[in-house]
Chain A
Amino acid sequence: MAKHTLSVLVENHAGVLSRVAGLFSRRGFNIDSLTVGVTENPQVSRMTIVVDGDEYIVEQVSKQLNKLIDVIKIKQLDKADSVSRELVLLKVNADASTRSEIIQIVEIFRGNIVDVSKTTLTIEISGPTEKIEALVDMVRQFGIREIVRTGTIAIDRGNKIIEIDNT
Chain B
Amino acid sequence: MLEINNLRASIQEESILKGLDLSIPAGEVHAIMGPNGAGKSTLGHVLAGREGYEASEGSITLDGRDLSAMDTAERAAAGLFLGFQYPVEIPGVSNIQFLRAAYNAQRKARGEDELDAMAFLKHVRQFLDTVGMGKDMLHRGLNEGFSGGEKKRNEILQMLVLQPRMIVLDETDSGLDIDALKTVAGGINAMRSPERAILLITHYQRLLDYVKPDRVHVLAQGRIVRSGGPELAQELEAKGYAGIENAA
B is bound to A: no
Tell me the B residues contacting A by CB distance below 8 Å: none
